[in-house]
Structure formats: C-alpha cells, structure tokens
Chain A
C-alpha cells in the first residue's frame, strides 16, 4: 500500500528534484567554491565568496534598488488591485468590459508590455513627453535619468501586476455572502466602516496570498529590465535577479551568481516565514 503512495508521489517528486531541489543544492555548493582556471580543480573557500559579495558596493546598490522596487510596487499594486476589485464588483454598467480592461496588462507577455512602455517613455516620440509637451513642459528622460529610471520601472510593474492581483480579490469578494452587507446595512453601517470591519478582515487570506506573490515577483524581475533599461543607467535600475543574470551570462562569473542566488533565497525564506507566522495569527480562514 505504501508503495502505491510512493508511486503516486513519484512524478511530482522527480520533477521537483530535477528542477528545484538539485539546482538549489548545486547552487549552494557552487557558492562555497572558487572555480579552477585552466583545468585546475575547484577550490573550497567556505564563506569567502559571501565576504567578497558583501564587500561589493554594486551588490548593495542593487539590493537597495530591489528594496525600493519592492516597497514601491507591493503596497501600491495591492491597494490598486483591491480598489479595482471593489469597483468592478459593484453594480456598474459595462462591468465585464471594465474587468477585462483591468486584466489585459496581465495577459500581455512581459516583453510585449515592456515594448509598449518603451514607446510611452521614449524621450523624443514617447507618449508621456508628447503629453507634457502639449501642456508646455519640457520632456523628461524617463529611463535615462538615474533619478527617475527606477520609478519609471516601478510604475510599469504596478500597471502590469495590479490587474493580476485584482482577479484574486474579485474572486474572494464574490464568494462573500451578500447577506453580510445587508445585515450591516440594516444597522446603518457606513460603507467605509463595513469595509474595514468586515470586507477587509475577510479578505485577509487573499491579501496574504497576494502579498507573498508580490514579494516573490519583486525579486523575479528580469524581462522588463532587459527591454527597458538593461539595468542602467549606472545600475540605477539593476535589480537582484537581473544582477544574477548579468553575473552568470554576461560576466560568466557563476560563483558570484550562485552566491547572490543563495542570499536571495535566504532572505525570501525568512520574510515568507515571518509573514505566515505573524499574519496567519491575525487572519481568519473560512
């Protein structure tokens, strides 16, 4: 009997091991060795790679960028998603159309979306600068100005993600029994008060789920940086995973890439654990 259970687990276990656990383990191992040049054997150096990484100012800059990016995208996109979900969950003319419109950015491939935004941000012919020009302002170099580039990337990410998170909120809102609202209405509960006392607490499981997803997404950004900025100017928009990609495939420094990856994994694990333990206690699951 136990054999059958094991057999049923096998396909998933094989896939997970091949594509998740084994790479993780080899990454961790790689981060502890220095590659040998010209056929020399690799050399075990312990945590020295981490030492080197933490002394690298670019890494800290990239890490700081990523923190700003996370703080800039996560709360905004979640708030926007919730707002949009509440809006399209109400009685509204052309509701289906609005829902579809909100969801469209999610369906677009990242590369396509980034290319569209290239045209918005382009210095001479871009939509934003055209609009600014019509109002009599001089244009801004959205992606070329080191002080603005990261914000520009953040705006685009929020645009892309909010619609996706909205779907989860919308599903959760639709599973809420309408009598709750009616019961509250009979007591003269204001919309605002109903939202904070009933809707929001009942959406906590969704919020938690979306939060974890948003966090993971915020360290998974490669593709739109690739199109929009290539991490520039002067690493102003370089984020962790793109930095890993650069190290691994542009500088062919696999060791550094592995080391950064391990650091990202650790940070993510710690944050996710904290979230689940702290927020779970305050979350009502039905």
Chain B
C-alpha cells in the first residue's frame, strides 16, 4: 500500500471560545491500520475525527494525509470517506442512488457507476434492496448502505463516527466482524471513533484512548488491557472495570484502606491505587493467608458470576465462572503480582514497584479462563 493513506496530526488543537475540545494532540496513522479513537463522551474524539475529515477546522496545528498538508482543504479534496453515526442517508433517494451519490458528484461515467455499484452492493449484501428507500430498511441495512457509500468512493481512508451505536447488541457484534473483515479485505485505513471499549478491543489494531482532549494512552488493545498507562485507562477498558483500591501506609507496607492486616505492596505505593481486574482475583471461601473479605452480593451473567466483595472500606468486583451462590460468606482473596497494577497519586502507572504476591495453593472456586473474558 502506498503512502497515500498515511495520516499525520501535528499538535492539533480545537478551541471554541473558552473551551478546548482537542488539546495539542499528535499522532501518525500508517496505511492499512485500524485505529480506534476511544474515550468517554466529550473527550474530543469526534472533534478530532471531524477535523481530519475537514468538517471542523483545526484552531492550531497541521493535518497531513499522504504527502499533502490538508489542514485548510475542504472535505471533498481530502480523499477520504466517512460513515456517520446517524448514517446520513438521503431519505428521498433509493439505496442505489444513495450509494452512487458521491460518484455522481465526482462525475464518474454512468457505466462505471453501475459496475462499481454492483460490486459494492454484492460486497455488503444489499443487491436485493437497491430500489428501496432508506425508510424501508432495518437499522443494520441502513448501516450497510452507509458503509457501501464510503466503500464505493474507493478512497483509501475511511473515517467512522460511532457507526454502530444505533444498532441493537446482537447486530452490533455481527457488524463489528463485518466492518473488520471489510477493512482488512480492502486494506483500508480506518479511524474509528467509539466510546464502547468492546468495539475498541475487538476491532482495533491500535487504540488511542482520549480524555479531556488529550491522548492518555496509545497502544494495541493488548497493551491497553494488560498495561494501562493510568488509572483512567485501567477503569475504562474491561467489563466489569478494573478494581481500583486506594492504598495507605500500614505496618509492613502499603495496605488497602480499611484493611490494615494484610500488606499488599511496598510502603512507597501508599497514597496511590492498586488496580486488579475482576478476572485476576481468586476467591476462596476458607479463611487463609489472602486478603480477608466478605461477599456482599452477586450478579449472575450466565457464563460467569460477578461477586461484590467488601474489603476494608471498599467494594471489589470478582469474576467467578459459572453460577455461584456466596452471598454473606466470609472469604479471602488472592492474586499474583504480575496481574496487579500500581498507580501513583496522580493516577499514572508506576512500574518501579511490584505488589506482594498473595499466592494460593489450591483453588476452591474455579476461575474463568483469562482469554477473552472481557467480551460480552
């Protein structure tokens, strides 16, 4: 793949009067990459995407696509397509006319339009629906029309702004796979905005996690899950979210607030947070050398159960496999040091310290397999 679809942002900022939506961000997307802009609402991810598309003008900084500086170029000259959250289909035009809308704008000959339409309709499985109006289609089919419209333009770059958030859960997981498959088949460069961490984890080659207009972590889904750069990243990825426990100074090291009996980390870690994923905690009913706890309640999800466990003055989520009935029982918790994360008082990851291991010899409650456990 040529360098045509390389996207480079240099210190891009977007300000509206007093508010700064995007604050001095820079990143570089290599051709063929599937990049996710992930973050809570209002973090500036959509604004970033719209600046790349040219629908918003950057207040500061440069945007390059390929070798060209496109910062001040109109959207139509940037050589990219976009899928909108609302699909943005033209309600008075048939599916076919919607798909070829851009080709007509670009004065592509009629014959070629027909050929490309037939090919793309086949690709997204819409051949039987070409004469319908958008109102006569289901949500998933409308989504496909929107996809077809961006594919038919044959631009190497496709921007997607929360394209699946109007679909129901089951359809969403189908479309996730479909979009991912299309992307690798057509070798498109995709920048995909979402607030859904499941979409980010399952589709992205690379995830840019944003907060308050800044990129807080830039890495593969694997890195985001296993080595979150901050407490925010840790809590944003994974479902249920990572447990974050405030640490205070104890007798033999840092302890969980309200639970002074078991030191969990070196004294230096006090004042920060200990992070453990619900799936990385082992729960044993018998009292032992682990952190003493009490099961408050549980939530049965089918494949597994989330137990809510009181430790000191905090509540932890623990993922257990299968159906478990443990409410009201005292128990102890165990984990290994490679599965724990330490964050300093500012919420940044610190790798200079390791937690104390809390090993267990035998398992009384089976744990689910660690792989893929964050998927719904």
Contacts and interface: CB of A to CB of B under 8 A. Distances in A.
Interface of A: 177, 179-180, 182-190, 193, 197-198, 201-202, 204, 284, 286
Contact of A286 (B82, B84, B91): B91
B84 A184 contact: no
- Chain A interface SS verdict (over half): helix
Contacts of B135: 286
Interface in B171-228: none
B75 A179 contact: no
Interface string B69-109: 00000111100111010101011100000000110111000
Given A188-B76, A189-B76, A286-B91, A183 B105 contact: no
Given A188-B76, A202-B91, A284-B92, A183 B106 contact: no
Contacts of B53: 182, 186
B88 A187 contact: no
Interface of B: 53-55, 74-77, 80-82, 84, 86, 88, 90-92, 101-102, 104-106, 133, 135, 149, 153
B75 A182 contact: yes
B88 A183 contact: yes
A202 B89 CA distance: 12
B74 A185 contact: yes
Contact of A187 (B86, B91, B105): B105
B102 to A, nearest CB: 3
Contacts of B74: 185, 188
Contacts of B75: 182, 185-186, 188
A186 B102 CA distance: 8
Contacts of B76: 185-189
Nearest to A188: B76
B81 A184 contact: no
A187 B102 contact: yes
Nearest to A180: B88
Given A177-B86, A187-B76, A284-B91, A182 B101 contact: no
A205 to B, nearest CB: 10
3 tightest A-B CB contacts, nearest first: A188-B76, A187-B102, A284-B92
A182 B84 contact: yes
20 contacts: A177-B86, A177-B88, A179-B88, A182-B82, A183-B82, A183-B88, A184-B101, A185-B75, A185-B76, A186-B55, A186-B80, A187-B101, A188-B106, A189-B101, A197-B90, A197-B101, A198-B92, A202-B90, A202-B92, A284-B133
Nearest to B86: A179
Contacts of A286: 91, 135
Given A187-B101, A187-B153, A202-B91, A179 B84 contact: yes
Contact of B55 (A182, A188, A197, A202): A182
B144 to A, nearest CB: 15
